[in-house]
């Protein structure tokens, strides 16, 4: 793609390859403008992100200098295939970044993930799985990896990661509905190990093992979940997990 990447390291994807910005504060300014592309960003918000409430006397001038250098770099790059160049507009007490459609990977991801969710709701499961897989393929690592995020960007990153998790869950749901239980077991094991308190993932793993005919492993995964919930949180497994256990044992729920 040509444009900007925030789903991983902050990158500029140009006609001549991938570019990265020098300077941690310059990267922060670009990241914040990208996080609110098409919307006004007050200069106070930029200063909060750059200095977290400990602004130097030169804060306003420093922000303006960063924006000046950012404008120069964007103007020097060739964003081939775009209907228009990205533009940073000056407004009273702030800035606005205008991007053409499809120029920001997080926006493309959100659109594709939303389409996948709609297709899944409509029962077009195979199409939904393809759309969600394409959306997730846009991620190159943790959002804004390498950017020293301040209070504003931390919230943006959290929202992106939550959207990624939801899209992943929908894709796993679609794959399960398509009968791809064996194919997703390894992925689910990895996800459970990385997210040990996510009961939804545990449930999908247990059910995938059951549907693959691996009942002993499914019961073992159920017992591990029960032990984890009891020892760490003092909780019992959900009704859905207990219903799957009954199915494994051939009992009525």
pLDDT, one tens digit per residue, over 168-195 is 999 999 999 999 999 999 999 999 999 9
Cα–Cα distance, 226 to 62 (Å, whole number)? 55
Tell me which DSSP letter residue 238 carries: P
25 contacts: CB under 8 Å, gap ≥ 6: 50, 62, 66
How many residues appear in the chain?
253
Q: What is the mean pLDDT of the chain?
A: 93
Q: For domain 181-253, give its CATH number from 3.40.50.720, 2.40.170.20, 3.20.20.70, 1.25.40.10.
A: 1.25.40.10
Kindly write down the DSSP assignment for every residue of 157-221, as one continuous string.
HHHHHHHHHHHHHHHHHHHHHTT-HHHHHHHHHHHHHH-TT-HHHHHHHHHHHHHTT-HHHHHHH
Q: Which two tokens stand for residue 72?
A: 């120069």
CB 27 within 8 A of CB 147: yes
- Could you please state the CATH topology (level 3) that the domain comprising 3-98 is classified under: Arc Repressor Mutant, subunit A (1.10.10)
CA distance 148 to 31: 10
- Note whether 120 and 22 are within 8 A (CB): no
Enter the DSSP assignment of 22.
S
Percentage of the residues of the chain whose pLDDT score is greater than 70: 96
Cα–Cα dist 67/74, whole Å? 10
Domain ranges of the chain: 3-98, 181-253
Higher pLDDT, residue 253 or 114: 114
SS3 10: coil
Summarised one tens digit per residue, pLDDT across range 130-169 is: 999 999 999 999 999 999 999 999 999 999 999 999 999 9
By mean pLDDT, which of 47-51, 73-77, 92-96, 185-189 is the weakest?
Answer: 73-77
pLDDT given at position 77: 80
**pTM: predicted TM-score of the whole model, two decimal places:** 0.90
Partners of 3 in the beta sheet?
13
Alpha-carbon gap, residue 60 to 53, rounded angstroms? 13
Using DSSP's 3-state secondary structure scheme, residue 154 falls into helix
């Amino acid at each position: 793609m040509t444009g900007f990447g925030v789903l991983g390291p902050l990158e500029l994807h140009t006609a001549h390859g991938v570019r990265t910005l020098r300077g941690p504060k310059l990267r922060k300014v670009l990241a914040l403008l990208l996080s609110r592309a098409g919307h006004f960003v007050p200069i106070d918000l930029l200063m909060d992100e750059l200095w977290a409430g400990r602004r130097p006397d030169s804060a306003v001038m420093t922000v303006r200098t960063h924006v000046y250098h950012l404008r120069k770099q964007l103007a020097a790059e060739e964003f081939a295939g775009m209907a228009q160049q990205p533009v940073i507009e000056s407004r009273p007490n702030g800035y606005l970044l205008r991007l053409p459609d499809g120029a920001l990977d997080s926006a493309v991801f959100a659109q594709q993930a939303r389409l996948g969710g709609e297709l899944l709701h409509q029962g077009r499961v195979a199409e939904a799985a393809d759309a969600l897989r394409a959306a997730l393929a846009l991620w190159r690592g943790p959002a804004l990896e390498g950017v020293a995020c301040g209070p504003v960007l931390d919230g943006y990153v959290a929202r992106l990661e939550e959207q990624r998790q939801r899209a992943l869950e929908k894709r796993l749901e679609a794959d399960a509905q398509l009968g791809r239980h064996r194919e997703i077991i390894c992925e689910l094991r990895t996800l459970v190990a990385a997210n040990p308190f996510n009961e939804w993932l545990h449930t999908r793993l247990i059910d995938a093992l059951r549907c693959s005919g691996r009942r002993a492993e499914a019961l073992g995964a159920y017992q591990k979940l029960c032990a984890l919930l009891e020892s760490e949180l003092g909780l019992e497994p959900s009704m859905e997990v207990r219903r799957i256990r009954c199915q494994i044992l051939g009992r009525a729920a």
